[in-house]
Structure 1
Amino acid sequence: MKPLLIAAALLLVPALAPTVAMAQVAAASMPNSFDRPASQAARAPAQPAAPASPAAPAPAAAPAVSMTPANARSEEVLREIIAGGQAGTLPYALMTEDLGGKVRAQEATVLPLLSGLGAIQALDFVGSRDGVDMFAVTFATGATQWVIGFDDSGKVAALLFRPAT
């Protein structure tokens, strides 16, 4: 997997709109799996449901997304990256050289964003697509969506976060 960094974190700061243009172009090239997962992309449009009768049972909840050891590692590394960023020291040793260089170039912008989000309230695995894992992370001050992917050597090669929609 070709190393990739999409600094969509800049979307969190409306005042930085001129610098966001590059992040938006890069983000536009990645499928938006949070809004429409691959498993739903080929489905036909949903038809309106028939009115429920008073005795009808409540609809079943959506099936839970199952975690695997690989997803658990993604969650562990993501938590470490977020904690490091909030503490002011990103764990570059976990990243590929290419990704680390790109993150370092944006560190002055990314670190204040991460520390301004506050404590993690919830971190939920959303799914996997095209070799990356997707997570919904709720902080004290807002909700975000994260994508994390690894290269063949196990280093983080793809990292993205943006406000939740």
Structure 2
Amino acid sequence: MKPLLFAAAAVLLLPAAAQAQVAAATVPNTFDDPAARARPVTPPPAPAAAPALSPDRAHPESEDILRTLIASAQAGAMDYALMSDDLAAKVREQEATVTPIIDSFGALVAVDFIGSQDRNDLFSVTFANAATEWVIGVNDDGKVAALLFRPAS
């Protein structure tokens, strides 16, 4: 009985660091494996740089089409004739949500071309109540095949 009490008393009297070492004894110790220390640590790869934007527009009429689409959304009647069938179907699904958002931006103040990438044009679009960025992609048939917007960063 005395050895058990002595062991319990020894654990209580041990400094917290020693108790932590006892608890950590179940974790593998790399100091026990010198080869593990000698293995070189490979840093993670650097994130890929974003592709550069071209200063040339992918489609010469993309700004005019974008202005028309924004105006039609704010008027409550999206102009689906400007869109590919695929995009029109997707926009129809989201129209009840997207149209009020675009309308809440207020009056269109400025549309500034930023650049093109992969046949898509990026614009900074400033409204009375919001600053946004828009991506518009026009296909070979002259129809909008991609249309995205987000708050300006």
TM-score between both structures, scaled by the size of structure 2:
0.64
State the superposition RMSD in angstroms: 2.0
Higher relative contact order (CA 8 A, sep 6+): 1
Match of residue 39 from structure 1: 52
Instruction: Give the aligned residue type for 1:70.
Output: H
Match runs of 1:8-23 below 5 Å: none
Higher radius of gyration, 1 or 2: 2
1:125 aligns with 113
For 1:92 and 1:129, how far apart are their aligned partners in 2? Answer: 24
Corresponding residue of 2:70: 82
Could you tell me how far 1:39 is from its partner in structure 2? 2.7
Cα 1:38–1:162 shift into 2, 3 Å: same
For residues 76-110 of structure 1, the C-alpha deviation after alignment (integer angstroms, 9 at most, x for no partner) is: 00000000000000100000111000000000001
* Pairs aligned (count): 105
Q: Secondary structure at the match of 1:115?
A: helix
Q: List gaps (5 residues or longer) in structure 1.
A: 1-35, 41-64
Identity of aligned residues (%): 53
Which residue is equivalent to 1:138? 126
Give the aligned residue type for 1:39: A
TM-score between both structures, scaled by the size of structure 1: 0.59
Measured against aligned partners, the alpha-carbon deviations of 1:51-75 in whole angstroms (never above 9, x if no partner) come to xxxxxxxxxxxxxx8565933x000
Q: Which of 86, 93, 99 is equivalent to 1:105?
A: 93
Q: Structure 1 segments of 4 or more deviating over 3 A?
A: 65-69
Contact 1:147 1:159 (C-alpha < 8 Å) held by counterparts: yes
CA 1:76–1:37 in 2, change beyond 3 Å: closer, same or farther? farther
For 1:78 and 1:147, the matched residues in 2 are separated by 9
